[in-house]
């Protein structure tokens, strides 16, 4: 017999977070590695409503994004610093990564405003297809 999925569950989404007992892993390095390994990844603070909007938009397009939840301000600062040093697109954004941040094909696309503008202009689907996240 099948079990009902609770209304608050996040079934179907691949959320990634560090185990609490894993102090040896540097979150900034782990996130930088995940950005390079995943076609689409969203990095956001835990419980962010703007991240939820981006996830739902991508799911409506048929993309199942990887999501990395930042647990505290220290982790967010470390990850933002590491990603801003590695991504040239941050220079146009004042040199910092703001969360939620969506990466497509290893490159920073931006936050909710940029993602929505790219979707409305019709550029998001081809970008996702080029990254290998969408097969249309």
- Give me the pLDDT at residue 83, please: 72
- Give me the pLDDT at residue 14, please: 53
Report domain extents, the chain.
25-130
Query: What is the β-pairing status of strands 66-70 and 14-16?
Result: parallel
Residue 119, SS3?
A: helix
Query: What is the tens place of the pLDDT at every residue in 46-105?
Result: 888 899 999 999 999 999 999 988 887 777 777 777 776 665 555 455 556 778 889 999
Contact partners, residue 68, CB within 8 Å, separation at least 6: 15, 16, 17, 31, 34, 41, 42, 43, 44
| CB 82 within 8 Å of CB 35 | no
Average pLDDT, the chain: 77
Domain 25-130: give its CATH code. 3.40.30.10
């Amino acid at each position: 017999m099948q079990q009902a999925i609770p209304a608050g569950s996040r079934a179907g989404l691949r959320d990634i977070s560090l185990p609490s007992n894993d102090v040896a892993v540097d979150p900034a390095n782990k996130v930088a590695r995940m950005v390079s390994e995943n076609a689409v990844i969203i990095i956001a603070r835990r419980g962010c409503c703007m991240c939820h909007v981006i996830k739902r938009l991508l799911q409506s397009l048929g993309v199942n994004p990887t999501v990395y939840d930042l647990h505290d301000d220290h982790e967010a600062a470390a990850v933002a610093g590491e990603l801003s040093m590695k991504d040239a697109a941050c220079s146009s954004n004042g040199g910092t990564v703001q969360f939620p941040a969506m990466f497509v094909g290893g490159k920073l696309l931006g936050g909710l405003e940029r993602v929505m503008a790219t979707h409305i202009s019709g550029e998001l689907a081809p970008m996702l297809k080029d990254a290998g996240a969408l097969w249309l």
